[in-house]
Amino acid sequence: MSNLKLGIIGTNFVVDWLCDAVDASEGIVNHAVYSRTSERGNEFAAKHNIPNVYTDMEAFLSSDIDAVYIASPNFLHGPQAIAAMNHGKHVLVEKPAALSAAEFDEMLACAKANNVVLIEAMRPAHDEALPVIREAMAKIGPIRRAVLEFCQYSSRYDKFRAGEVMNAFNPALGNAAVMDIGVYALEVCVLLFGEPKEIISRSVILENGFEGMGTVFLDYGTYQVDVAYSKITDSVIPSVITGEDGSLKLGKLSTLDSLTLCMRRQAPEVIFEGREDGGAGNMVYEVADFVKMIHGKLAQEPYHEATRGTLRIIDEVRKQSGIVFPGCRW
> What pLDDT, on the 0 to 100 scale, is given for residue 312?
98
222 and 168 share one domain: yes
The DSSP secondary-structure symbol of 179 reads I
pLDDT confidence of residue 278: 63
Q: Supply the pTM of this predicted model.
A: 0.96
pLDDT for position 203: 98
Strands 198-205 and 211-219: antiparallel
User: Residue 270: which H helix or E strand, with range?
Assistant: strand 269-273
Residue 259 within a domain: yes
- What pLDDT score does 57 carry? 98
- Is residue 303 one of the residues assigned to a domain? no
Q: Which residues have CB under 8 Å from 56's CB, separation 6+? A: none
* In-domain check, residue 108: yes
17 vs 284: CA distance, rounded Å: 9
Same domain, residue pair 217 and 183: yes
The DSSP output letter for 247 is E
Structurally, the chain folds into a number of domains equal to 2
Q: How far is CA 103 from the centre of its chain?
A: 16
CA–CA distance, 61 with 34 (Å, rounded to integer): 9
Q: What pLDDT, on the 0 to 100 scale, is given for residue 43? A: 97
Residues 168, 312: one domain? yes
CB contact set of 274 (below 8 Å; sequence gap of 6+): 127, 129, 251, 255, 256, 257, 258, 281, 282
CATH number at residue 18: 3.40.50.720
Whether 326 is covered by a domain: the verdict is no
Task: Please indicate, yes or no, whether residues 272 and 288 belong to a single structural domain of this protein.
Answer: no
Domain range enclosing 95: 4-124+284-298
For residues 144 and 163, state if they share a domain.
yes
Domain identity same for 114 and 169: no
Residue 255 pLDDT exceeds 80 = yes
What's the CA gap between 97 and 243, in Å, rounded? Answer: 32
Considering the chain, what percentage of its residues have pLDDT values greater than 90? 97
Residue 297 has pLDDT above 80, yes or no: yes
Residue 257 neighbours by CB distance under 10 Å = 18
Asked if 239 and 149 touch (Cβ cutoff 8 Å), the reply is: yes
Q: Please provide residue 120's backbone torsions phi and psi, each rounded to the nearest 5 degrees.
A: -85, 140
Does residue 72 sit in the same domain as residue 137?
A: no
Instruction: Determine the 3-state secondary structure of 131 from DSSP.
Output: helix
Under DSSP, is residue 99 helix (H, G, I), strand (E, B) or coil? coil
Mean pLDDT of the chain: 97
Residue 182 has pLDDT above 80, yes or no: yes
What share of the chain has pLDDT > 70, as a percent? 99
Same domain, 149 and 257: yes
Handedness of CA 133, 138, 139, 144 (dihedral sign): positive
- The CATH code of the domain that includes 199 is 3.30.360.10
pLDDT tens profile 27-73: 999 999 999 999 999 999 999 999 999 999 999 999 999 999 999 99
Same domain, 141 and 272: yes
80-123 pLDDT, tens per residue?
Answer: 999 999 999 999 999 999 999 999 999 999 999 999 999 999 99
Cα–Cα distances (Å) from 136 to 4, 142, 249, 263, in that order, read: 36, 12, 10, 10
